Structure 1
Amino acid sequence: MITEESVREVIDSARVEDVVGDFVNLRRRGNNYSGLCPFHNEKTPSFNVNPARNIYKCFGCGVGGDPVKFLMELEQLSFPDAIRWIARKYNIKLEETEVSEEVRAELQERDSLLIANDFARKYYAEQLLDTDEGKSIALSYFRARGFRKEAIETFGLGYAPNQRDGLLQAATAAGFGEDQLEKLGLVRNGRDFFRDRVMFTIHNLAGKPIAFAGRILKKDVKAPKYINSPETEVYHKSDVLYGMYQARQAVRKLDNIFMVEGYTDVISLYQSGIRNVVATSGTSLTAGQAKLVKRFTENVTLLYDGDKAGVKAALRGVDVLLSADLNVRVVVLPEGKDPDGYMQEVGVTVFEQYLTDARKDFLFFKADILLEEAGDDVAARSAAIRDISSTLALVTDPLKRAGYLQQFSAKLGIDESLLVGLVNGAIADHRSERKKAAEREQRRQARSSGGTSAPPPPTSEDDWGGLSEPAWLDTSSDDPGPVAAGGAPPPVAGSPAAEPRQPEIGHGHQEQHFVHLLVRDGHKWYDEPTKTTIAGFLTANVADLLGDFDVATYREAVEQVTDHLRSTGGAPDPDWYTRHADERIRQLATEAVTSPYTYSPNWQEKYGLRLSQKMPDENQRLAAELFLRIFRMEKIERKGKENTLLIARYQREGNFEKLKTHMKVQMKLDEMRISLAKELGTVVLSR
């Protein structure tokens, strides 16, 4: 591990204008610099760099922070990798502490596998470019597809010769063990796994080769067209999209990602200037891939061949994208065309215009297909409507779902209340399926471990006033964001107002107290029989409110505790916080240990009767439950006030469509407030 002294030296040495300047064309404006924001698409510079404070800030999309955060966000690096990147830039020698032999062995094993994969990549590239066999067979194929030298190098294309053990001999001569090659799937039973195939390298987000795909060129042979590396310690297929490493910056800048099926489609579009493109490699999409996409954008455009198989492919796996709250659109090419071939036929300009003109919202695309197939058949049409309702149920954003319900009730020719009922039924079905899947996974883990696994922490799915959909309160998709106390906007991550020394902003005091509970009591039992900790209980029941946190530091602390719970199955103890690599979390830990338990200043007056209970150090479970109820009530009340202002605004403007939507949101908010008030024993005033 990198020592704290080295981390501090790197942070003190890093100049934001130097680091950002490697990625953004900056121009001096007085004492500061400005440029086009790399995190969103813009034509007028709103991205500012302040050397005096050593921070960056975009006044267009709101991102901001220090040089380390810039690298972590833009390049998707971990904190240690960002520190190493800056250290290399400034020629700083890092000191690293000793780790356990077990951890060291795991790290060395992973590194050795990545190095072996990189050797294989170089071997395949040499076979492609420097041998007569590679040039005549593989290079001619790539050139026929129009691939230029730059694309071949960028994507790590190569050739596996028709030899029994060419790679094995070369790798062992270079000092690699046969066992390493077998772990990576490069060698099997003393023979090369990839033979007589053109090769495509699969990279991780750091650009390191983690796997390969090989395409056979011979026709009429009894062999699969493509074969891929198996799952390994460095390659988990369900978490990878081909071309994501090459596309990541363009995806973030353009705020959209194109998904195609094949490797060659990605390369062809990329070298023609369409660089925000990745491939699903012909497989159904997974939750891991959806999560990967959402790190860079919320907008996905599926691009598929214009035949029946391509249309059916557009319907496969999209549910997982909708469940991740991604905006999904579809472009189906003219019949018989694939992305690569159609672009070669019509040219880049016409192709790009087609992508714009033919793009269609996925839900309407699916509805049109299902209704067309059903025709006038009543039973088939009913089945189609239920299928559409099931897909609508995956849309978690309440405003987006409300808009769909209005449009689909007219499109389907049924009453909106009936469609709402069908969607609610589908939501319940999805919930039940998720619960059963979680129980099956628990049983599987219990069998594999030879024991019993603890049930997951209780969720707030049916508690706290009926809040059932994560982040459903977020109305920022088409309206101004949440407003903190006094009408001021919430602090932006990286700004001074976002630091823990500013708890008076918005709900900062309550959020600070929430983190203090995690530090001091998170490792204690909330319910010992079910192995549920205080941290497990609190984080599970606040997950849907993280987007409404006012102080970024507190939100990030809760997110890191949640990740720790998921990865280890246990709650971190106080030492985890005090020894954390992030100085802000160490500071929070110090505050939690040294400061007395205090509630928000106005809570005693509002909830005084209930705050007469014993303090948390005497009754952790009751304190956690009471605090959580009040915490949620405060957030809901604020959201209700914001929504009331929007209702008044839309009423003045005569925007009855949005007015109707926000009236529905207000009814839901009021239901939640009343339910929580009953639990707290307080009176709720009507608005």
Structure 2
Amino acid sequence: MITDESVREVIDSARIEDVVGDFVNLRRRGNNYSGLCPFHNEKTPSFNVNPARNIYKCFGCGVGGDPVKFLMELEQLSFPDAIRWIAAKYNLQLEEREVSPEVREELQERDSLIITNDFARSYFGDQLHRTEEGKSIGLSYFKQRGFLRETMDTFGLGYAPAARDGLLRAATAAGHKEEQLEKLGLIRNGRDFFYDRVMFTIHNLAGKPIAFAGRVLRKDVKAPKYVNSPESEIYHKSDVLYGMHQARQAVRKLDNVYMVEGYTDVISLHQNGVKNVVATSGTSLTTGQAKLVKRFTENVTLLYDGDKAGIKAALRGVDVLLTADLNVRVVVLPEGQDPDSYMQAVGSTKFEEYLEEQRKDFLFFKADLLLEEAGEDVSRRTAAIRDIGATLALVEDPLKRAAYLQQFSGRLGIQEQLLVNLVNKAIADRRAQSRKDQEREARRRQRSDRQAPHPPTSPTPSEEDDWDNLREPGWVNETDEPAEPVAMTAPVDEPATASDAEMDLGHGYQEKFLLYLLVQHGHKSYDDATSTSVATYLTANVADLLGDFDRPRYREIVHLVMAHLREHGRPPDASWYGSHPDADVRKLAVEAVTSPYTYSPNWQLKYGLRLSQKAPEENHRLAAEIFLRIFRMEKIERKCKENAAEISRLEVAGDLAKLRTHLRVQMKLDEMRMALAKELGTVVLSR
């Protein structure tokens, strides 16, 4: 590890104008410097460098900091790597303290693997430019593609000769171990893995060579067109996008990345001025790649060849981008063209104009494609709408999703509420699948732990959200059996059950489940740090809604609980309800914990959840939180409808004074609805 003294020396030595000047064309303005910001796209300089304070600041996008932060942000370097970069620039000797032998060995191993890969990159480059075989086969191919020498060097292009031992002999002669060559996939069974192919170097963000791809040129060879390095300690394919090292600054500056399929597409576009381009290398997109993109931009534009069958097959891979909350657009090239060929055909100016003019929102693009394919066939059209609903469910931002729903309902020719329900069901299905996957993984780990000699480890929590962990009361699978209710300590009369018709009026079911939570779990702790009980949490958060309760007796019981909390400083337990002097309180409490039916038939459709009597046990806090969010949403939704009706009446009556008041109320209600929708991960209709 670098010592604190060395870090301080580097920071003290680094001059902001020197470091920034390596990346930005700076012009002096008085005592400071200015230039075009490298972090966002601008035409008028707003990026300022202050040598006196040794900081930079962009008054356009707001970024700022010292030399180390500049390197970390722009070059995506870690803090130690940024310190090493500055030390190398100023020829400073870094002092590093001892680390454990295990850590040192791991670091040395990674470094040695990258050094070995760098030797291979250099070897392939020499073969391309300095041997007759490389020039006649590899170099002629790249020149036919129109690649310049500078471009070839930038991307680390090379050639692997037909001989099966060239790299092995050269590398071992230079002191590289066969074991390392084997780990990197450069040799296999004592022979070169890459041979008779043009070579593409795959870099990490710091520009280090971590893997290779080789393309065969001979058409009569029965071999895969491309072969790639296997995964290793320094190369994880699912976390890498080809060309991101070369594209990262342009992606950040232009706030958009173009995604193509092939290596040569990236290289051709980069050479012709479209530098914010990366390739998926013909594989499905992964979560790691989506996270990598989001480090630089939230905007992705996919470039597709004009083949509808190929486009439809590629659609499934885009879900991961939507789940990462990226804005996805699509450009379809003319039929028979790929990015490289179309660039060569029309030139860079026309190509970029085409990209700007033809860019289309991915969700609308997918909808149009599926509906066009379905035609007038009702069953196929229904399947297409369900597919579109499932895609809409991947949009995480509730405001963005609501805006899509407004436009899609007309586009699909269905009612907006129907589409909302369809999307919410898709959200619930996705969460249910996530829960099943989590449980399956937990069982697999348990089996593995039973066989392993070490103690079992806890299963990794789901990355979805806290909903996935809630299994114990309330939100369960259709096959779950209700658990036995907590017994009352005193005998009670027959439950004063309400009819289904009565409960269906308003929010009777929801109010009843609130009573269930108070009876069964109100006495339990909600937050140990603040000594808050579940009853305190629930009553405090429904106090402003009591006037809107549909069943007065439930409201009265909540008032009784609140009075008990004020008087005793603690919540009542289950026995308090069972021995209460008011017979109606006893009856309603028993009814709440023993009714055999679901408490809210509506919530499965709207939120993908079903309430049962199964006790929350360890999940009582989460159950209370989720219930409260939905309960408040239901009440606020109704308030919105009532207020909207009053607004319509006042508009007709021309009562402007009252109308303004109700419009302000509506804005506040909408803010509350949107905030709750974001917490719930569901969709709400705008009013």
**TM surpasses 0.5:** yes
Residue 454 of structure 1 is matched in structure 2 by 458
- 2:182 alignment partner, SS class: helix
In 1, Cα distance between the equivalents of 2:338 and 2:152? 21
In 2, Cα distance between the equivalents of 1:419 and 1:348? 42
In 1, Cα distance between the equivalents of 2:679 and 2:107? 50
- 1:210 alignment partner, SS class: strand
In 2, Cα distance between the equivalents of 1:300 and 1:335? 22
In 2, Cα distance between the equivalents of 1:11 and 1:32? 20
In 2, Cα distance between the equivalents of 1:670 and 1:393? 17
Residue 502 of structure 1 is matched in structure 2 by none
In 1, Cα distance between the equivalents of 2:73 and 2:4? 22
Residue 308 of structure 1 is matched in structure 2 by 308
User: Per the alignment, do residues 426 and 662 of structure 1 end up closer, same or farther by CA in structure 2, a change over 3 Å counting?
Assistant: farther
User: Per the alignment, do residues 463 and 308 of structure 1 end up closer, same or farther by CA in structure 2, a change over 3 Å counting?
Assistant: closer
2:673 to 656, 662, 667: 667
Contact 2:258 2:277 in 1 (8 A): yes
Residue 436 of structure 1 is matched in structure 2 by 436
User: Per the alignment, do residues 446 and 9 of structure 1 end up closer, same or farther by CA in structure 2, a change over 3 Å counting?
Assistant: farther
Residue 33 of structure 1 is matched in structure 2 by 33
- 1:453 alignment partner, SS class: coil
User: C-alpha displacement at 1:48, in angstroms?
Assistant: 1.9
The correspondence of residues 129-278 of structure 1 with structure 2, limited to 5 A, is 129-278=129-278
Q: Deviations over 1:195-218 (max 9, x none)?
A: 111111100111111110010011
Q: Deviations over 1:27-77 (max 9, x none)?
A: 233333222111110111222222333222222112122211111110000
**Letter matched to residue 24 of structure 1:** V
Identical columns (%): 74
**Letter matched to residue 133 of structure 1:** E
**Letter matched to residue 359 of structure 1:** R
Residue 407 of structure 2 is matched in structure 1 by 407
Contact 2:215 2:227 in 1 (8 A): yes
In 1, Cα distance between the equivalents of 2:264 and 2:309? 18
**Letter matched to residue 362 of structure 2:** F
- 1:349 alignment partner, SS class: helix
Residue 353 of structure 2 is matched in structure 1 by 353
Residue 482 of structure 1 is matched in structure 2 by none
Residue 21 of structure 2 is matched in structure 1 by 21
Contact 2:431 2:468 in 1 (8 A): no
User: C-alpha displacement at 1:399, in angstroms?
Assistant: 1.5
User: C-alpha displacement at 1:84, in angstroms?
Assistant: 0.9
User: Per the alignment, do residues 379 and 659 of structure 1 end up closer, same or farther by CA in structure 2, a change over 3 Å counting?
Assistant: farther
In 2, Cα distance between the equivalents of 1:211 and 1:45? 38
Does residue 382 (structure 1) correspond to residue 382 (structure 2)? The answer is yes
The correspondence of residues 41-56 of structure 1 with structure 2, limited to 5 A, is 41-56=41-56
Contact 1:394 1:427 in 2 (8 A): yes
User: C-alpha displacement at 1:379, in angstroms?
Assistant: 1.1
Residue 113 of structure 2 is matched in structure 1 by 113
**Letter matched to residue 440 of structure 1:** R
**Letter matched to residue 60 of structure 1:** G
Q: Deviations over 1:387-414 (max 9, x none)?
A: 1011111111122111101000110111
In 1, Cα distance between the equivalents of 2:671 and 2:147? 52
Larger Rg: 2
Residue 340 of structure 1 is matched in structure 2 by 340
In 1, Cα distance between the equivalents of 2:156 and 2:437? 39
Contact 1:301 1:328 in 2 (8 A): yes
The correspondence of residues 4-15 of structure 1 with structure 2, limited to 5 A, is 4-15=4-15
**Letter matched to residue 84 of structure 2:** R
In 1, Cα distance between the equivalents of 2:677 and 2:142? 62
Contact 2:47 2:56 in 1 (8 A): yes
Number of aligned positions between the proteins: 503
**How high is the TM-score relative to the length of structure 2?**
0.68
**How high is the TM-score relative to the length of structure 1?**
0.68
- 1:301 alignment partner, SS class: strand
Residue 321 of structure 1 is matched in structure 2 by 321
User: Per the alignment, do residues 448 and 42 of structure 1 end up closer, same or farther by CA in structure 2, a change over 3 Å counting?
Assistant: farther
User: C-alpha displacement at 1:292, in angstroms?
Assistant: 0.4
User: Per the alignment, do residues 134 and 457 of structure 1 end up closer, same or farther by CA in structure 2, a change over 3 Å counting?
Assistant: closer
**Letter matched to residue 35 of structure 2:** G
In 1, Cα distance between the equivalents of 2:440 and 2:38? 43
Q: Deviations over 1:601-648 (max 9, x none)?
A: xxxxxxx999x99xxxxxxxxxxx99xx9xx99xx9xxx9xxxxxxxx
Contact 1:127 1:158 in 2 (8 A): yes
In 2, Cα distance between the equivalents of 1:269 and 1:14? 36
Greater shift after overlay, 154-163 or 450-459?
Answer: 450-459
User: Per the alignment, do residues 141 and 669 of structure 1 end up closer, same or farther by CA in structure 2, a change over 3 Å counting?
Assistant: closer
In 2, Cα distance between the equivalents of 1:133 and 1:609? 90
